[in-house]
Amino acid sequence: MQAIILAGGFGTRLKSAIGEDVPKPMAPVGGEPFLAHYLRYLQGQGVSEALIALHHLAQTISGYFGDSFEGIRLRYAVEEKPLGTGGAVKRALAILQPEAPLFVGNGDSFVEIDIRAMRASHIRSGAALTIGLRGMPDCSRYGEVMFDAAHRITEFRYPGRAQPGMISTGCYIVSPDLFAGNAVPEAFSFEADFQRPFCAAVPMHAWLAQGYFIDIGVPEDYARAQAEYRTWRVTAPQRRAASGGAA
């Protein structure tokens, strides 16, 4: 399975914790960059090739990981100017030219999710985009995603309300022709400029995750990732093996 990893952000909110010269995906957790833990997890989920979209301090990331890591072949797409999350996904699809749906994730967040099952559900649904969702007790930071009984996404509410709801984890399965026929610029936000305005026109499917979720974008959550990494660095397959195959 192929994957696109978005890792080009400036990480402005996290600089007070990791410094000016460390890109957010390289924030150390348990003696390794956060992105190393994430790549290791993806490999356990069946990802064999990943394209990492880079901009800020790109050489720091590509120089560390090289052309492979933990059995995943790595490629890089370095943006001369920031393309936004949507522009990065669009460019990565043009580079990879995939023939089958692929996974998209962020290099600064982790969610325990069955990617193979998510991809199979995406194919069965006929959706162009499947979004991994997770319940949160307070949606005010992330926004809310609404969907119907068939798991067809119907609305994005942003900002979210300070109450329980479903948020996007930033994990996606995308079809190769996701942007075909939809007018999007070179640089744009995947969330604000594509998902929200095209929700009615582009079939979007909800996949519900219940596992561990962490986004290290703010110092408080980065500290939590450091404190809890011994829990979330263990992949779902390892957990099932340790428990005799239980989900």
* Averaged pLDDT for residues 94-106: 97
The neighbouring-strand residues paired with 51 are 4, 75
pLDDT (tens digit, 9 = 90+) per residue, 151-173? 999 999 988 889 999 999 999 99
Helices and strands in the chain: count of H runs, count of E runs: 7, 14
Instruction: Compute CA 51 distance to the chain's CA centroid, rounded to the nearest angstrom.
Output: 13
Beta bridge partners of 152: 205
Q: Which residue has the higher pLDDT, 181 or 175?
A: 175
Whether 36 maps to a domain, the answer reads yes
Token match 């609305």: residue?
Answer: 155
- For 182-212, the pLDDT digits (tens) are 889 999 999 999 999 999 999 999 999 988 8
Angular region, 85: left φ>0, alpha ψ -120 to 50, beta rest: alpha
Number of neighbouring beta carbons within 10 Å of residue 49: 15
The domain tally of the chain equals: 1
- State if pTM tops 0.75: yes
CATH number at residue 191: 3.90.550.10
Q: What is the mean pLDDT of residues 69-95?
A: 96
Six-digit token string for 235: 């992949």
Whether the CB-CB separation of 134 and 166 falls below 8 Å is answered with: yes
Q: Which two tokens stand for residue 29?
A: 């957790």
Indicate the pLDDT class of residue 234, thresholds 50, 70 and 90: low
Residue type, 71: G
| Residue 135 pLDDT greater than 80, yes or no | yes
Asked whether residue 239 is assigned to any structural domain, the reply reads no
pLDDT for 240 beyond 70: no
Percentage of the residues of the chain whose pLDDT score is greater than 70: 94
Residue 113 has pLDDT above 70, yes or no: yes
Domain contains 227: yes
Buried b (16+ CB within 10 A) or exposed e, 123-133: eebebbbbbbb
Domain coverage including residue 89: 2-234
